[in-house]
Amino acid sequence: DAKTTQPTSMDCAEGRAANLPCNHSTISGNEYVYWYRQIHSQGPQYIIHGLKNNETNEMASLIITEDRKSSTLILPHATLRDTAVYYCIVRYNFNKFYFGSGTKLNVKP
Amino acid sequence: DVKVTQSSRYLVKRTGEKVFLECVQDMDHENMFWYRQDPGLGLRLIYFSYDVKMKEKGDIPEGYSVSREKKERFSLILESASTNQTSMYLCASSLFGVGQQPGLRIFGPGTRLTVT
């Protein structure tokens, strides 16, 4: 059980911000939200994670709602190289790491 | 730049062959994992190891074995390859301990194995 819901696909214009939503309404109090992405035929790449507060790193920003039932990954200036499948993950056991179906982000020129 | 490397990107083997997939990480991580990824099924954990010579079964260990003789190296072995083991195999590592993030994985580039 992936415990997350994401749109199947999204489009974004190059240079614009990409906002990828994720619902995780059954998240428990100590579960973190992780975001990974997978470019075609490559291994998944870690992007960012958070618990309650919004987080930002060199790749992206993560906005988590106050009730923690949903989050949004923001790529501030999407490039063609950001075209990938983006996975929102809620880990609930050390060896349970369900990627779910993810969102296919298409960045267009 | 820290990384996880896998011995092959693409591999073609025949049914019944013994297959070795090697994974090496340079981050001194305690934990290493082997997953397979199939369309519509996501990532499924085969085995993981939390220390040298230690291993634990994941969700789908049947038909596989593993070896971890050194901290940096984790091998996946298909004892007798079958066509239903055709898949993308992903190795990952992570640091684990008090204060660490057990959900943080560094993945390798993957090995696409075809068994004919």
- Residue-wise pLDDT for A9-53, tens only, equals 999 999 999 999 999 988 887 788 999 999 988 899 999 999 998
pLDDT at B42: 79
A:B CB pairs within 8 Å:
50
C-alpha–C-alpha distance, residues B87 and B79, integer Å: 16
The stretch B44-72 carries a mean pLDDT of: 93
Chain B interface includes A89 (CB < 8 A): yes
Chain B contacts in chain A segment 24-53 (CB below 8 A): 32, 34, 36, 41-46, 49
C-alpha–C-alpha distance, residues A78 and A106, integer Å: 10
Question: What is the torsion angle, in degrees rounded to the nearest 10, for the CA atoms of residue B15, residue B17, residue B6 and residue A34?
Answer: 50
Does residue A91 register a pLDDT over 70? no
User: Lowest-confidence range among A2-6, A93-97, B29-33?
Assistant: A93-97
Amino acid at residue number B41: L
C-alpha–C-alpha distance, residues A101 and A99, integer Å: 7
Nearest Cα residue in chain B from A98 = B43
Question: Does the beta-carbon distance from A43 to B109 stay under 8 Å?
Answer: yes
The stretch B5-21 carries a mean pLDDT of: 96
pLDDT at B88: 96
Write out chain B residues lying below 8 Å of A98, CB-based.
42-43
What are B16-52's pLDDT values in tens digits?
999 999 999 998 888 899 999 998 887 888 999 988 9
Write out chain A residues lying below 8 Å of B56, CB-based.
95
Does residue A104 register a pLDDT over 90? yes
Count the alpha carbons within 13 Å of B5 in the hemisphere toward its beta carbon: 6
pLDDT at B21: 98
pLDDT at A92: 55
pLDDT at B105: 84
Count the alpha carbons within 13 Å of A64 in the hemisphere toward its beta carbon: 24
- Give DSSP secondary structure letters for chain A: ----B--SEEEEETTS-EEEEEE-TT--TT--EEEEEE-TTS--EEEEEESSS-EE-SS-EEEE-TTSSEEEEEETT--GGG-EEEEEEE--BTTB----S-EEEEEE-
pLDDT band at B1 (very low <50, low <70, confident <90, very high): low
Write out chain B residues lying below 8 Å of A57, CB-based.
none
What are B70-110's pLDDT values in tens digits?
999 999 999 999 999 999 999 999 876 545 566 778 899 99
Residue whose entry in the numeric block shows the structure tokens 């083997």: B13
pLDDT at A95: 62
Mean model confidence pLDDT for chain A: 90
